[in-house]
């Protein structure tokens, strides 16, 4: 039996713009994704099986998933399961044996923090290593893009932050990226060094519902991605904050008043500028100047939202 543990980090979107609706129902986006230290632990074991007869071949490759969240599916609906299946189909033909995946979750579920995507990405990295495939990031990202729009970014961030994967020096490995297309065309850029407060109101939000419900014509404020990229490289916090715009707020904050309430509450605690919803929500994050500031706000907000965390970006 071979085994590896991958730290599956979450992400925040420092900005998110939707450019247009595509014919397949997806949306062309332009956004900056930043990896955060809050992570799940994904433990992957591979037990090689013995050669079976042709009639037994259907059962010759098995996947088992467990998590510490009893309400999460453990079958093919789990992104970690899907990732193992996808890797088997792409690169595992003829392999016989069992993939056992144990996930210790800390990242809130359906929160806009790529909690599922990063579990899927971790399994792709793990099997790449356990099967000795030696795939580079672009090849892994091609498999990841089939699983979900946030998976390729999770792969590049994990490559940087899990040096034992042996991919940290690849050009695509990065804690931060501009994502274009449907979110899978990635350009590594200089990231943000900041303490963070994260707070998730007690509901899950469906990404599909948010994109579908967004009225593109009524959006008035857009981020300037080029300016944000420059500001990140120059550590110009004023310009970073100015471009912290997420157009998906137009839907989620109106549809879910509790998310609007939470955003306003965080602003009152930590100031107007550096507060934003991540992804399709409902998690609200704020940049904090110090760890103490993030910790203090966390204590206050935990009374209202149980899933409140202080953390920082990875860098």
Smallest gap from residue 176 Cβ to ligand CDM (A): 13
75 classed as catalytic: no
Among 92, 157, 223, 279, binds ligand CDM (CB under 6 A): 279
Cβ proximity to ligand CDM: between 113 and 298 the closer is: 113
Residue with nearest beta carbon to ligand ATP? 116
Query: Could you say which of ligand CDM, ligand ATP, none residue 44 binds, taking C-beta under 5 to 8 angstroms by partner kind?
Result: none
Smallest gap from residue 107 Cβ to ligand ATP (A): 7
11 classed as catalytic: yes
Closest C-alpha among 119, 116, 103, 124 to residue 43: 103
Residue among 40, 45, 105, 150 flagged as catalytic: 150
Residue among 11, 82, 263, 265 flagged as catalytic: 11
Query: Could you say which of ligand ATP, ligand CDM, none residue 182 binds, taking C-beta under 5 to 8 angstroms by partner kind?
Result: ligand CDM
Closest C-alpha among 174, 177, 83, 121 to residue 7: 121
Q: What is the footprint of ligand CDM within residues 174-193 (CB under 6 A)?
A: 182-183
Among 57, 89, 208, 226, binds ligand CDM (CB under 6 A): 208
Cβ proximity to ligand CDM: between 92 and 120 the closer is: 120
Return the bridge partners of 268, or none.
none
Q: What is the footprint of ligand CDM within residues 136-175 (CB under 6 A)?
A: 148-150
Q: What is the footprint of ligand ATP within residues 98-117 (CB under 6 A)?
A: 103, 109-117
Using the rule CB under 6 A, is 256 a contact of ligand CDM? no
HEC states along the chain? Answer: CEEEEEEEEEEEEEEEEEEEECCCCCEEEEEEEEEEEEEEEEEEEEEECCCCCHHHHHHCEEEEEEECCCCCCCCCCCHHHHHHHHHHHHHCCCCCEEEEEEEECCCCCCCCCCHHHHHHHHHHHHHHHHCCCCCCHHHHHHHHHHHCCCHHHHHHHHHHHCHHHCCCCCCCCCCEEEEECCCCEEEECCCCCCEEEEEECCCCCCHHHHHHHCCHHHCCCCCCHHHHHHHHHCCCHHHHHHCCCECCHHHHHHHCHHHHHHHHHHHHHHCCCCEEECCCCCCEEEEECCHHHHHHHHHHHHCCCCEEEEEEECC
Among 18, 31, 80, 126, binds ligand ATP (CB under 6 A): 80
Smallest gap from residue 208 Cβ to ligand CDM (A): 4
Binding site for ligand ATP (CB under 6 A): 72, 77-80, 103, 109-117, 119, 150, 207, 279-280
Q: Which residues bind ligand CDM (CB under 6 A)?
A: 13, 16, 25-27, 29, 117, 148-150, 182-183, 207-208, 211, 279-280
Which residues are tagged catalytic? 11, 150
């Amino acid at each position: 039996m071979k085994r590896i543990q991958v730290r599956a980090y979450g992400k925040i979107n420092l900005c998110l713009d939707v450019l247009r609706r595509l014919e397949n129902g997806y949306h062309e986006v332009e956004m900056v994704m930043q990896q955060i230290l809050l992570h799940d632990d994904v433990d992957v074991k591979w037990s090689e099986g013995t050669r079976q007869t042709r009639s037994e071949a259907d059962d010759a490759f098995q996947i088992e998933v467990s998590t510490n969240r009893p309400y999460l599916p453990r079958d093919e609906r789990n992104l970690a399961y899907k990732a193992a299946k996808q890797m088997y189909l792409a690169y595992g033909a003829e392999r016989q044996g069992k993939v056992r995946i144990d996930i210790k979750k800390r990242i809130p579920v359906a929160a806009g923090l790529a909690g599922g995507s990063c579990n899927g990405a971790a399994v792709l990295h793990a099997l790449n290593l356990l099967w000795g495939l030696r795939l580079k990031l672009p090849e892994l990202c091609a498999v990841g893009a089939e699983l979900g729009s946030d998976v390729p970014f999770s792969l590049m961030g994990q490559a940087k932050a899990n040096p034992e994967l042996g991919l940290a020096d690849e050009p695509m490995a990065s804690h931060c990226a501009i994502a274009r297309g449907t979110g899978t065309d990635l350009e590594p850029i200089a990231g943000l060094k900041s303490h963070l407060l994260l707070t998730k109101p007690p509901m899950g939000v469906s990404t599909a519902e948010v994109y579908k419900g967004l009225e593109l014509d009524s959006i008035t404020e857009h981020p300037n991605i080029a300016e944000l990229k420059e500001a990140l490289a120059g550590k110009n916090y004023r310009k970073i904050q100015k471009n912290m715009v997420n157009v998906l707020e137009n839907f989620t904050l109106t549809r879910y008043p509790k998310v609007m309430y939470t955003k306003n509450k965080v602003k009152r605690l930590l100031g107007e500028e550096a507060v934003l919803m991540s992804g399709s929500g409902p998690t609200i994050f704020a940049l904090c100047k110090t760890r103490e500031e993030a910790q203090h706000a966390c204590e206050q907000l935990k009374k209202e939202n149980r899933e409140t965390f202080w953390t920082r970006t990875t860098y």
